[in-house]
Amino acid sequence: MKEAKFSTKSIWAGEKEQLAFGATQVPVVHSVSFGYDDMDEWYEVAIGNKPGHIYGRNTNPTVQAFEEKIRILEDAEAATSFSTGMAAISNTLSTLLFPGDRIVSIKDTYGGTNKIFTEFLPKQQVEVVLCNTGDHDAIEREVAKGCKVLYLETPTNPTVKITDIERMACAGKTVGAKVVVDNTFATPVNQNPLKLGADLVIHSATKFLGGHADALGGSVCGDKELVEAIYHYREINGATLDPMAAYLLLRGMKTLKLRVEQQNKNAAEIAEYLKTFDMVESVYYPGLPEHPHHDIAKKQMSGFGGMLSFAVKGGVATVRDLLPRLQYANRAANLGSVETVVGPSRTTSHVECTPAERAAMGIPEGLIRYSAGIEDIDDLKQDLAQAFQSIQTYAKR
């Protein structure tokens, strides 16, 4: 029998082993502990010689089903999970880096990730080098000087810049660096970093994987030895994924391809549509031919994603007037949901940063992050049109 395709895997993968009592859906196992009458069997499970569970902070059947599903979708050797996406990022970096080590990354990473680079890792005597995103020559030069980790995020949050994963992975491997890629914006539907040479791929499962804005979670997939080391750090430090959250993420992932393909289409149309408004200064979307990294995106992505951003004339004042007028968009610090979600970086992705820090990363205060949902595209377009028309009419009074 031929290997199943993506949509089939997203529905069936990782679940059969965890079904019980004839259930067709993975049960939510809330039990904190798992008992054994046979002391020898208990010991074998405890030391990992035999499958099973002993304590919820370590492993759980519902959580295990989620881990196996994302492992299969990313075609990885192993996967582990976390309570949030930031837990996945911080635990991974804490596992891989020690005092005296050097990490190379880009300036346009998510605000929380950037804070780890600029605030926390330097306190641990880890040298951090942040290069201009898209300047592949500069990144290669810094990597060639030696580094323990090369950390990439592509597309970036919120300006959706693109980095050539295959090229950077080659540079990283030349010096023995571990290459880590945050694949949250792309999802395994649109991009597979492991196939492009990365060692590890990270997801904030809260976003597109779950897709319904009702569960926090994170994951790391990739090289088995690395994932096992990261799991060990997580099991001791305790950033465990909750079983109910794992169930909700599993449920959401069943429709991952359907949702993401629709979000790809909606985002592409919205990006083109926004260019028709005089109040829009610039639109950021890798699917646009004029995007500076469009050719790289075409090479490594099968779809350009459901995320875009745009800058408006008038800066924060226009953002303040425009967003409340949208009827089909949640104004919230989230993305990847079935509903369209909008918000400025100053209150979402880079709320932890100062205006000066955001400016240094090329994020204008008038930038709006737009996570396209799965609504009818005509309704989303009309909603934008009425919102822009409304503030223009108001301004003339």
Give the model confidence (pLDDT) of 182-202 as tens digits: 999 999 999 999 999 999 999
pTM: 0.95
Check residue 271 and give its pLDDT: 98
Per the CB < 8 A criterion, the answer to whether 325 and 390 are in contact is: yes
pLDDT in tens, 246-255: 999 999 999 9
Check residue 261 and give its pLDDT: 98
Catalytic residue among 102, 110, 199, 369: 110
Q: In what order do the strands lie in the sheet with 307-312?
A: 280-284, 307-312, 367-371, 341-344, 330-331
Cα 174 to Cα 145: distance, rounded to the nearest angstrom = 11
Rg over alpha carbons for the chain, rounded to the nearest Å, is 22
Cα 18 to Cα 51: distance, rounded to the nearest angstrom = 12
Check residue 337 and give its pLDDT: 98
Compute the half-sphere exposure of residue 240: CA atoms within 13 Å on the CB side of its CA: 20
Q: Which residues of the chain have pLDDT under 50?
A: 394, 397
Check residue 397 and give its pLDDT: 45
Which pairing describes strands 102-106 and 149-153: parallel, antiparallel, or unpaired? parallel
For residue 207, indicate whether it is catalytic.
yes
CA distances in angstroms from 258 to 237, 276, 301, listed in the order given: 36, 28, 17
For residue 5, what are its two tokens? 């395709």
Strand blocks (E) in the chain: 78-82, 102-106, 127-131, 149-153, 178-182, 200-204, 218-222, 280-284, 307-312, 330-331, 341-344, 367-371
Maximum CA pair distance of the chain?
81
pLDDT in tens, 121-149: 999 999 999 999 999 999 999 999 999 99
- Which residue in 330, 337, 369, 329 sits closest to 350, CA to CA? 369
Catalytic residue among 71, 148, 178, 182: 182
Check residue 221 and give its pLDDT: 98
CA dihedral 48, 52, 53, 59 (to 10 degrees): 70
Q: Which residues pair with 312 in a beta bridge?
A: 280
Output 386-390 pairs: Cβ under 8 A, ≥24 positions apart. 386/325, 386/327, 387/322, 387/323, 387/325, 387/326, 388/277, 388/279, 388/322, 390/325
Catalytic residue among 36, 55, 57, 328: 57
- Which residue in 207, 230, 226, 228 sits closest to 218, CA to CA? 207
For residue 182, indicate whether it is catalytic.
yes
Check residue 393 and give its pLDDT: 60
Per the CB < 8 A criterion, the answer to whether 388 and 322 are in contact is: yes
Cα 230 to Cα 247: distance, rounded to the nearest angstrom = 22
Catalytic residue among 207, 254, 257, 259: 207
For residue 55, indicate whether it is catalytic.
no
C-beta atoms surrounding 145 within 10 Å: 10
Cα 219 to Cα 63: distance, rounded to the nearest angstrom = 11
- Which residue in 14, 120, 142 sits closest to 67, CA to CA? 14
- Which residue in 109, 59, 106 sits closest to 79, CA to CA? 59
Check residue 145 and give its pLDDT: 98
